[in-house]
Amino acid sequence: MRTSRPSGRPASSSLVRAEPNSSRGFGAGPSRPLRVILAGGGHSHLAVLEDWQRNPLKGTERILVTPSSRMIYSGMLPGWIEGLYRRSELEIDIRSLAAATDIQVIEDEVAALDADAKLLTLSSGKILDYDVLSLGVGGHLELSAFSGIKALRPVRPIGRFMEQWEKFERSVAQSGPSQIAVVGGGAAGTELAFAVASRFQDNPVPPRIVLITGQDGLLAGHACGVRERARVALEGRGVEIQQTDLEVGEGGQLLHNGGSARFDLVIAATGSNPPRWLADSSLMLGPGGGVSIGADLQSRSHREVFAAGDVSERADRRLARSGVHAVKAGPILAANLRSFVRGDKLRPYSPRKRTLYLLSTGDRNAILSWGSLSVQGSWVWHLKDWIDRRFVMHFQRLAVSGRADLRRTTLARAMLSPSVVRTALQVSLVVGTCLNAINQGDELLSGEAVSWGRIALNYLVPFLVASFSGARARQTMESAMPFRRSKATETNRSDPFDQETST
């Protein structure tokens, strides 16, 4: 572990500091509200915004600092490149989501942080002081190795990349591209290579597509079966895989296979690194340069600072930088920010041992991996599509409705909830067995022919009746509640449909 260098900025502030009323947090005094700042509008802070909609954080002044009023969901970017999604289907209106609970939104980027003085400096030069700070700014791409490449298009920020991609498509609309390189052998680079190949596969002369993975190779860290499936699928699409590091020659040409080539487009998807300004923030940092946090997502050096996602590093265990951890940590982050303000005990975020990865391979096909298990097919893509749309549409609806508590569970969703299904199965087993014993007990005991259709029906009808009754009871309880219980206040349950977001 290392501690970043102090920035040397003065600790003057227009905000009178609140004194902690416990060993863990602050008590919102009657004189003025505490200022809570969310820096970044990424996956983890979406859960915080939802929690504050459901149950406003009383006694606080809340500010969201984000470079854009719209968050673009990275998991659907490859599908957008293929033409499967409209841009509006990827976007979440963060400003509307925040405005519903009196959260001030500042469209700007963080340029510096002085954690000792509790000062956050923005790119515009504005300085904000805070009592509680949550960092969810994500990471940045290290582009020093790409120096001199004029056709370079970094995949982050995603909004800028999408604009550059649209310009590129217009520029090659007549002749079509001849050579495209994707740099990065992780899930993001692999999915982008598949998407680009799928996008231009119907051109009269399809472009040459090269995936430069680096020395670690394709999908390093993934199971062997997944890597082999991806390799075969890439080669089947004509994508060249080069297990070499990026080298740039004179004039911005890429050096590879003993020669050089000038590409029409070079997409950089080499992974995410913590922002550089953390080095001068006074925060304790991990070996990789991220904010060193404990299991409760709290900074190990400054207890009023929390962090989640690519900007952070767990001190107690190693976690890969991935979107799924940012999503899963979000409800815990929301609960701990609330607990810290109240002076209550914080809760740990406990990641699952295995992560569900759904890797799009183009043309509505995908690879699924769960530990050492891997399968592929169109049904996997449809599962991924359902999960992605469900995630985005959830927050789009919250942004439109303005109040999360107005969103009630639909009858179909309630019938499919685990608790309702479990109870219905138990009822079906008991009632169905009794009905079969009464109606066809003699035939079953004597070995005579029985009606299997009736046997199945005797189990199915009680199951459906119990499911419907349980679902309606759940809806009735929700209607009687002033607020639906926030996920941030529930236990950290694992969801089999949580998946890795790759880009």
- Do residues 150 and 266 both lie within one domain? yes
CATH of residue 93's domain is: 3.50.50.60
Residue 421 confidence (pLDDT): 87
Within a domain: residue 260? yes
The tally of domains found in the chain comes to 3
Average pLDDT of the segment spanning 71-83: 95
Within a domain: residue 319? yes
Nearest by Cα to 110 from 91, 81, 130, 80: 130
- Do residues 10 and 116 both lie within one domain? yes
| pLDDT mean across residues, the chain | 84
Q: Please tell me which residue, 151 or 449, carries the higher pLDDT value.
A: 151
- Do residues 127 and 14 both lie within one domain? yes
Strand partners, 211: 182, 241
Q: Report the share of the chain in percent with pLDDT over 70.
A: 84
Residue 381 confidence (pLDDT): 97
- Residue 37 and residue 128 in contact, taking contact as beta carbons nearer than 8 Å: yes
Residue 121 confidence (pLDDT): 97
Residue 231 confidence (pLDDT): 97
Residue 407 confidence (pLDDT): 45
Q: Please, which pLDDT band fits residue 178 given cuts at 50, 70 and 90?
A: confident
Its pTM stands at: 0.75
Mean pLDDT is lowest, of 72-86, 312-326, 386-400, for 312-326
What contacts 344, CB < 8 A, 6 or more positions away?
24, 25, 338
Residue 16 confidence (pLDDT): 35
Buried b (16+ CB within 10 A) or exposed e, 465-488: ebbeebbeebbeebeeeeebebbb
Domain boundary among 354, 387, 419: 354
Q: Please tell me which residue, 478 or 46, carries the higher pLDDT value.
A: 46
Buried b (16+ CB within 10 A) or exposed e, 273-291: bbbebbebbbbbbbeebbb
Residue 4 confidence (pLDDT): 57
**154 is in which domain, residue-wise?**
144-271
Average pLDDT of the segment spanning 293-315: 95
Coil, helix or strand at residue 69: coil
Residue 479 confidence (pLDDT): 53
The 10s digit of each residue's pLDDT in 306-355 is 999 889 999 988 876 666 778 889 999 999 999 999 999 999 998 877 88
The 10s digit of each residue's pLDDT in 181-199 is 999 999 999 999 999 999 9
Q: In angstroms, rounded to a whole number, what is the distance separating the alpha carbons of residues 470 and 288?
A: 49
Q: Inform me whether the pLDDT recorded for 480 exceeds 80.
A: no
- Do residues 208 and 130 both lie within one domain? no
- Do residues 127 and 170 both lie within one domain? no
Q: Inform me whether the pLDDT recorded for 470 exceeds 90.
A: no
Q: Report the share of the chain in percent with pLDDT over 90.
A: 51
CA R_g for the chain: 26
Average pLDDT of the segment spanning 460-484: 71
Beta strand residue intervals within 346-486, DSSP E:
356-362, 365-370, 373-377
- Do residues 28 and 133 both lie within one domain? yes
3-state secondary structure 419-430: HHHHHHHHHHHH
Residue 420 confidence (pLDDT): 84
Average pLDDT of the segment spanning 22-35: 58
- Do residues 185 and 231 both lie within one domain? yes
- Residue 212 and residue 246 in contact, taking contact as beta carbons nearer than 8 Å: yes
Q: Inform me whether the pLDDT recorded for 386 exceeds 70.
A: yes
Residue 125 confidence (pLDDT): 97
Q: Please, which pLDDT band fits residue 42 given cuts at 50, 70 and 90?
A: confident
Nearest by Cα to 153 from 185, 116, 121, 183: 183
The 10s digit of each residue's pLDDT in 481-493 is 444 433 333 434 3
Q: Inform me whether the pLDDT recorded for 276 exceeds 50.
A: yes
Average pLDDT of the segment spanning 363-384: 95
CA angle 88/91/95 to nearest 5° reads: 120
Average pLDDT of the segment spanning 3-20: 42
Q: Please tell me which residue, 241 or 13, carries the higher pLDDT value.
A: 241
Mean pLDDT is lowest, of 81-95, 428-442, 456-470, for 428-442
Q: In angstroms, rounded to a whole number, what is the distance separating the alpha carbons of residues 177 and 168?
A: 9
Residue 446 confidence (pLDDT): 72
Buried b (16+ CB within 10 A) or exposed e, 73-93: bbbbbbbbbbebbeeebbbbb
Residue 408 confidence (pLDDT): 52
Within a domain: residue 394? no
CA angle 80/81/86 to nearest 5° reads: 30
Secondary element (H or E) of residue 46: helix 43-54
Q: CA–CA distance from 457 to each of 290, 432, 440, 447, 468 (Å)?
A: 58, 8, 13, 20, 16
Residue 23 confidence (pLDDT): 35
Within a domain: residue 9? yes
- Do residues 262 and 158 both lie within one domain? yes
Q: Please tell me which residue, 456 or 353, carries the higher pLDDT value.
A: 456
Within a domain: residue 77? yes
The encoded tokens of residue 274 equal 């913590």
Within a domain: residue 230? yes
Residue 251 confidence (pLDDT): 64
Q: Inform me whether the pLDDT recorded for 499 exceeds 70.
A: no
The encoded tokens of residue 127 equal 């300085």
- Do residues 213 and 149 both lie within one domain? yes
Within a domain: residue 184? yes
- Do residues 292 and 259 both lie within one domain? no
Q: In angstroms, rounded to a whole number, what is the distance separating the alpha carbons of residues 160 and 127?
A: 26
Average pLDDT of the segment spanning 55-76: 93
Q: Please tell me which residue, 24 or 232, carries the higher pLDDT value.
A: 232
What contacts 339, CB < 8 A, 6 or more positions away?
24, 25, 345, 346, 347
- Do residues 261 and 307 both lie within one domain? no
Report the half-sphere exposure of 295 (CA within 13 A, side-chain side).
10
The 10s digit of each residue's pLDDT in 199-226 is 999 988 889 999 999 889 999 989 999 9
Residue 15 confidence (pLDDT): 39
Within a domain: residue 441? yes
- Do residues 300 and 426 both lie within one domain? no
